[in-house]
A and B are shown apart, each in its own frame.
Chain A
């Protein structure tokens, strides 16, 4: 029975618009729609370059609309969270008066029967406009533009930036090997998989040997010791970004498990300040206590599950010049 993990990648991008898109967005805040001259044509939306040739276009802006004609449309019965309207609407190619090319936007027509090629539409402006394409909330049937909510007027400064919040959620199946490693970690066991061809052992639920490019199933499982040696480490000074959880320099250590070639990479260390980590330090695995267990495990998470990290065990440091190379 496959388990799935959900993860969401969300980021508030902040775009710079450049001179042409910037002019268009600034004009939107003034309830004006601009096109740009391209030879005999007026391009809407305006581009910095001729779409056919890539030639730079001089900044000859032309005001178009605000009303226009629907050239083509389709009905969206179940809008997505990204769509301009919550209820069913039409996406349409609207050729604004004075424009050569149509603009894609939403039309709030109520029913698909109310949509037709050739119908006239006009913008419904947002009361407070920021300089984004959705300063036009949508188009509405008819000749007359309208404004929703209190009209707070045009932007005080030319608009040069645009916000774009991207948020995608993925639901990924957890491969069997990863799950088995997580299960084992709940029992405070470190599971390895031995490749029958080359003999290398891989931990962390990897489930494959990258050298021989074969999958490693449960028949390849071996128990791994909970004692090891720190071979190398990174001390990371955290930087801030959306989603950051750290505020102090933190350690990610590489631990070579006794009697094996297995490296547990990027491990946390317990009761070991960053400035006291050494190559050759002897450590034991630390597992999450029942109180620390959450649904995903209280530890390193993922296939490492309940493994919290590694703690110095008091044995004397190992002195071996090759240790520092054992990162993989």
Chain B
């Protein structure tokens, strides 16, 4: 069995303003993101051969919530279209697979969600083991804190290096003042946890020849893989992220150095753990965008990591890594490697 083509590229993307509380509907957010992604490429919605949306009913607060998002695509005449109940980064994976079939040229993928409308502490327990964990209201902050403890015990992070990540991510604050704050969920403080962000992102993919017609410097997807681990954090060694390691290897991270890495680390300790697992040295610029600690539009956060990694390639960079994650304590991880060509 031969490997997938590496001649499929990200050629553009856009995201809505990242805000604490949007006054727009998810469909409106998506509509704007798609228009802004395809416009600069000289494309209209009629040019889109395949769309794949990423969103989550429980975040939105309605069954079949993605159906109204179809209005954002302009699916008339009817479009080849799909939807994943996952972050847009996985919608990207589905589109990348679809383009491999060779019969179509342009795909648009999106991720969208408004997490300001509900309380994550009350929603997220519903994705946990329904018998043993959901009934305790076991929330993401609790799991993140337990993982942070393990990561600290393993010497991969400490509260100081975590605060340093926060300062770098947000471009503001000083480590000493941050460390003087109360714990939110020890050892996590407010600066260690992500903001609540409403937002959407849309990304354009094209097959090789079409990509080269449309842009100067496509960001070719040369490696793409994702893996999951067992669900219950009690059964895992929380000071490691084996699925990240496997996905990175399968995506060919080890083949050549990357200059830039965009990691979906919603918590400061996650960035340090992921750096360690991926073997990213100080020469790699990690989360120059600020990452999920700065803006965390749930269901689009991962896709935005790919977008920022692609920006590095568009700007002349050679090789970039993007990471996305889902589930408690980094249960599921996705790695996408992007490259430019001379």
Contact = CB atoms under 8 A, between A and B. Distances in A.
B131 A17 contact: yes
Nearest to B118: A170
Kindly state the interface size class of chain B when it binds its partner: 35 or more
Given A72-B149, A80-B121, A168-B58, A101 B185 contact: no
Interface stretch (B92-100, B132-140, B160-168, B215-223): B132-140
B28 interface: yes
B175 interface: no
Nearest to B147: A72
A251 B139 CA distance: 43
A166 B124 CA distance: 11
B234 A102 contact: yes
A86 B110 CA distance: 40
A158 to B, nearest CB: 15
A101 B70 contact: no
A104 interface: yes
Given A104-B136, A213-B35, A213-B71, A74 B142 contact: yes
B235 A173 contact: no
B31 A93 contact: no
A74 B235 contact: no
A7 to B, nearest CB: 7
A271 to B, nearest CB: 33
Contacts of A239: none
Nearest to B71: A210
Contacts of A176: 23
A153 B52 CA distance: 54
A80 B61 contact: no
B135 A74 contact: no
Interface stretch (B8-16, B72-80, B284-292): B72-80
Contacts of B31: 208, 213-215
Given A15-B131, A175-B25, A169 B118 contact: yes
A213 B134 contact: no
A240 interface: no
B79 to A, nearest CB: 11
Interface of A: 2, 7, 9, 15, 17, 21, 25, 43, 45, 51-52, 72-77, 80-84, 91, 93, 101-106, 112, 132-134, 162, 164, 166, 168-173, 175-176, 207-208, 210-215
Given A45-B129, A101-B234, A210-B70, 20 more contacts: A7-B61, A9-B61, A21-B131, A72-B150, A74-B146, A77-B184, A82-B137, A84-B136, A91-B136, A91-B142, A104-B133, A112-B186, A133-B132, A169-B119, A169-B122, A170-B61, A172-B114, A175-B23, A175-B24, A210-B76
Interface of B: 21-25, 27-28, 31, 34-35, 45, 58, 61, 70-76, 114, 116-119, 121-123, 125-126, 129-139, 142, 145-146, 149-150, 183-188, 230-235
